[in-house]
């Protein structure tokens, strides 16, 4: 086994994982922008009766989605996105319809 090849591969992986400060700043700005868009979507939903009903169903099924004290913007953005995009279960009737033969 060629040990230098393995060492070079590890060095290459470390180099690829390194992000410059400018890239990290740009990524943080994108996350903040996405978080603002998600929060604007919630405000927009609060403007219609259907949206209010949907938000109430989400709170009832999944709980309130508030930012935690130690949570980063990226973590909260991901959690809020999942909370908003989760499929709501369809309401099923209490009793199935009777079949007439």
Question: Are the CB atoms for 77 and 38 separated by under 8 Å?
Answer: yes
- 89 falls in which pLDDT band (50, 70, 90)? confident
Q: Write down the mean pLDDT value for the chain.
A: 84
Is the residue at 87 inside a domain?
A: no
Which of 40, 41, 36 has the alpha carbon at shortest distance from 76? Answer: 36
Residue 53: which domain range? 23-82
pLDDT over threshold 90, residue 93: no
pLDDT over threshold 70, residue 26: yes
- Greatest Cα pair distance in the chain: 79
Distance, in Å, from the CA atom of 65 to the CA atom of 6, rounded to the nearest integer, reads 45
First CA to last CA distance, the chain: 76
Report pLDDT for 36.
96
Residue of higher predicted confidence among 72 and 93: 72
Other beta carbons less than 10 A from residue 77's beta carbon: 22
The number of CA neighbours under 13 Å toward the Cβ of 5 is 2
Other beta carbons less than 10 A from residue 35's beta carbon: 18
Q: How many domains does the chain have?
A: 1
pLDDT in tens, 41-78: 999 999 999 999 999 999 999 999 999 999 999 999 99
User: Which residue reads 């099923």 in tokens?
Assistant: 92
Is the residue at 95 inside a domain?
A: no
Is the residue at 62 inside a domain?
A: yes
**3-state DSSP call for residue 89?**
coil
């Amino acid at each position: 086994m060629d040990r230098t090849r393995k060492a070079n591969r590890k060095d290459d992986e470390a180099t690829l994982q390194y992000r410059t400060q400018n890239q990290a700043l740009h990524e943080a700005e994108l996350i903040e922008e996405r978080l603002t868009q998600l929060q604007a979507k919630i405000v927009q939903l609060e403007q219609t009766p259907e949206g209010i009903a949907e938000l109430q169903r989400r709170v009832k099924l999944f709980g309130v989605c508030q930012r935690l004290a130690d949570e980063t913007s990226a973590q909260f953005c991901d959690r809020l996105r999942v909370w908003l995009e989760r499929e709501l279960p369809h309401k099923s009737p209490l009793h199935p319809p009777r079949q007439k033969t």
